[in-house]
A = this chain, B = another copy of it.
Amino acid sequence: MSADYTLLLQTIRQWVSVSEREEPILSDLFERRYVPANDFFLREGEVCRYVGFVVEGLLRYYVLDDGIEHTYDFSPERNFTCNYESFLTQTPSTRFIQAIEDTTLLIISYDNLQQLYARLGEGQKFGRLVAEELFVGMLQKLTSFYRETAEERYDTFMRSFPQLQERVPQYVIASYVGIKPQSLSRIRAQRAGKQY
């Protein structure tokens, strides 16, 4: 089993147990995909046909509203990525998922994911736990997105993604906070003394 699949297996095993005998199911059902920096894993208007597992790299999620990008989430390595709403309903996405860095993924199609749920002893449990975590995470993201001030959003970014501060371009951080890039330095200066 290659290092990519070992990483995927380790991650799934944080949720449920996978026996040694079940390990080959993963390489049966996932395939490798490479997305160069600035290219898209998913565009607005496309149906999200795959769930991706980020082996290496970094993706961001954003919506385009009157020509303005609003970044609302990131998926670094060892995380799953997809527009879960578009994926579950197999309807066109209203969001973009874009690579910020050259990104290598293991991807699984909708049909193969149903197979994964059925073939792994704890596959359905894995699906339940992921769906539950995504439900809670999405509510927290939406509450932050709609209700927080720019200063609070900046704090949310620093607290949620402490390891990404050096990897995310300034204009993307600004689009997460909901301000113009030139306003970011003001908030940065103001927050400089704060511990995260």
Identify 13 residue pairs between A and B in the complex whose beta-carbon atoms are under 8 Å apart, listed by A's number.
Answer: A85-B136, A88-B135, A88-B136, A117-B125, A122-B124, A124-B125, A125-B128, A127-B128, A128-B131, A131-B131, A131-B132, A135-B135, A146-B146
Contacts of A125 in B (CB 8 A): 117, 124, 127-128
Identical chains in the assembly: 2
Contact between B124 and A135 (Cβ–Cβ < 8 Å)? no
- Closest Cβ neighbor of A134 among chain B residues: B135
Nearest B residue to A122 via CB reads: B124
Which of chain B's residues has its CB closest to A125's CB?
A: B124
Instruction: Given A124-B124, A128-B128, decide whether A138 and B135 contact each other with a Cβ distance below 8 A.
Output: yes
CA of A117 to CA of B126 in the docked complex: distance in angstroms?
12
User: In whole Å, how far is A118's beta carbon from the nearest beta carbon of chain B?
Assistant: 9
Name A52-76 residues within 8 Å CB distance of B. Answer: none
- The residues of B that contact A84 with a CB separation of less than 8 Å are 135
A interface, size bucket: 10 to 19
Cβ proximity bits A25-60 to B, threshold 8 Å, 1 near / 0 not = 000000000000000000000000000000000000
CA gap between A136 and B84 in the complex, in Å: 8
User: A: which residues have CB within 8 A of B?
Assistant: 84-85, 88-89, 117, 122, 124-125, 127-128, 131-132, 134-136, 138-139, 142, 146
